[in-house]
Amino acid sequence: MPIALLAAQALFLFGVPAVLVWAEPRLRVVETLSPVVLCYMSGIVAAQIPGVVFDARLAGGIVAASVLVAVPLLLFPADLRRWLRLARPTVLSFVLAVICVCISSALVFALLGARVPAAADISGMLTGLYTGGTPNMNAVALARQVDSETFILVNGADVVLGSVFLLFLMTVAKPLLARVFPAFVPVGTGPAEPGEPAIDQRGGPWYRAGLAVLLSLGLCAAAAGLSWLLLGRLAEAMIILSITSLAIVCTLSPNVRGLPHSYETGQYLLLVFCITIGTQADIGHMLQAGSLVLLYCGCVLLAVALHWLTARLFNIDVDTLIITSTAAYFGPPFVGPIAKVLGNREVVVSGMTAGAVGLALGNYLGFAVASLLGG
């Protein structure tokens, strides 16, 4: 393929996410649909234009690089040690959520796995997704070499199911659950305002984000070297798990946690991943398998019921239950809005940190579940 055409395709794949990031706080339609959904749609639509064929090698390189570099960037701001010192109910409720997701993923695989292609991989992706958010699902899919169509189907199911669940959390969840769960008892966990992430997102010139990107690239190189040294080849699964481990070690340094724009840069790279995956989708396959994958994902999401049942046995209060559910199933970005709905600023710090812990755990858990179920 001519270099000029490759350059144009790369400009499209990197440019559209940048435009959507710029437009999200300015255009209500972008904010409502979310840049993630719009990136998938943009990639799928562009790939259907007659005469347009996206280079498979370019797409494959961007998919791998975007996820590998994004994982450390998303983890750098997290203070995981502090989370372990937070109030016992927060830690306990989040741990219960993680355990219940793993159990649910395995049970659904046992019941429906024979009917759904790549069921083990889907269970692994959902385990990662529901313990820390979309970045985990992306990383597990890359590690397990999941095909583009399956990935988009799972993500599409998540958009549908997640929207319904999020609407429930933002409207009637607290009034209903407050009838069953104890009320929140303030303990003065911190002054963070709802909607203001506990992770460091300080301002400053965007070029300073380059420091975080350089560190992330260094970790990727180290992980690749470790894979080559131990296995004699570049194994994506080992590289991803090694990158996660190295990034967690780096978070022990306050200087790393203070790197500006690390989290936002990681989120942008995930949008690049999304639009690139969209360009590789097979519409016919998606239409044929979509309803069954939706059913599969919906059954796994019932883990939330198991989580809430076990949380009641441990007498978890209603606000902690809702905020840890948000952290596990949606990740850190949704903690602030839910805390605002709850009218409780004290749960922001613990919820954001729980979400960061989920980002760290999800890659390990998702890959482990997929490997145990499917080999």
pTM (global) more than 0.75: no
Instruction: Report the Cα–Cα distance between both ends of the chain, in Å, rounded.
Output: 37
Residue 331 and residue 299: Cα distance in Å, rounded? 20
Domain limits of the chain? Answer: 80-255+280-374
Helices (H) and strands (E) in the chain, counts: 19, 0
Query: Could you tell me if residue 106 is left (phi over 0), alpha (psi between -120 and 50 degrees) or otherwise beta?
Result: alpha
**Residue 245 · residue 364 · CB < 8 Å:** no
Q: Which of 40-54, 232-246, 299-313, 332-346 has the lowest mean pLDDT?
A: 332-346
Helix, strand, or coil here: 78? coil
Query: Could you tell me if residue 118 is left (phi over 0), alpha (psi between -120 and 50 degrees) or otherwise beta?
Result: left
Structure tokens at 85: 């010192």
Residue 193 and residue 336: Cα distance in Å, rounded? 8
**Residue 305 · residue 321 · CB < 8 Å:** no
Residue with tokens 């999401």: 301
Give residue-wise pLDDT tens across range 80-126. Answer: 676 666 568 888 999 999 999 999 999 999 998 888 888 999 999 99
User: What was the pLDDT predicted at 201?
Assistant: 42
How does the average pLDDT of the chain come out, rounded? 81
User: What was the pLDDT predicted at 333?
Assistant: 65
Q: Within 13 Å and on the Cβ side, how many CA atoms surround 27?
A: 12
Residue with tokens 């850190």: 332
